Structure 1
Amino acid sequence: GLALELLAAKVLAIMAAPVMPNFAAELWQGLGYGEPLGTDAWGRATEWVPSGQALGALDKNYFNPLVATGEPVLAAS
């Protein structure tokens, strides 16, 4: 259900933080956490998002879509 989906989003935010910090911070805030996403979040990764926690805008586009240019993609040599 919804609780499992929110937990999956929470784990995604925590795991993405080292490589995509801006995305992770936006998702973390969308999950209703007021404090910044810190390195201590790993220890709380499997804790459910609290019942009744006010959620932010989780239905937004976090990434800009890629636009096809018609140019061939060259493989790295």
Structure 2
Amino acid sequence: MSTPTYQFAVVFEQVTRAFGEVKAVDAVDLKIRDGEFFTMLGPSGSGKTTCLRMIAGFDRPTAGKVFLHGADVTALPPYERDVN
């Protein structure tokens, strides 16, 4: 069995998502290991769904990078991401 060359399944590097003047997500750094159970908790409007939408490719970050399994997917559309 080969060892993956990546350490994390999901990585956010200084990810920001703004809607006009409002920052829904502001400079988030996040690392989720492959197979790790991860929960995002917070009040309504804290950016949880926006983060999930950026992982899936439905929203693009205003700034920063999104990596899936070591690959930069920041600019990839949803159909080119293996997130199921």
TM-score above 0.5, yes or no? no
Rg larger for: 1
More helix by share: 1
More strand by share: 2
Normalised to the residue count of structure 1, the TM-score between the two structures is 0.27
Normalised to the residue count of structure 2, the TM-score between the two structures is 0.25
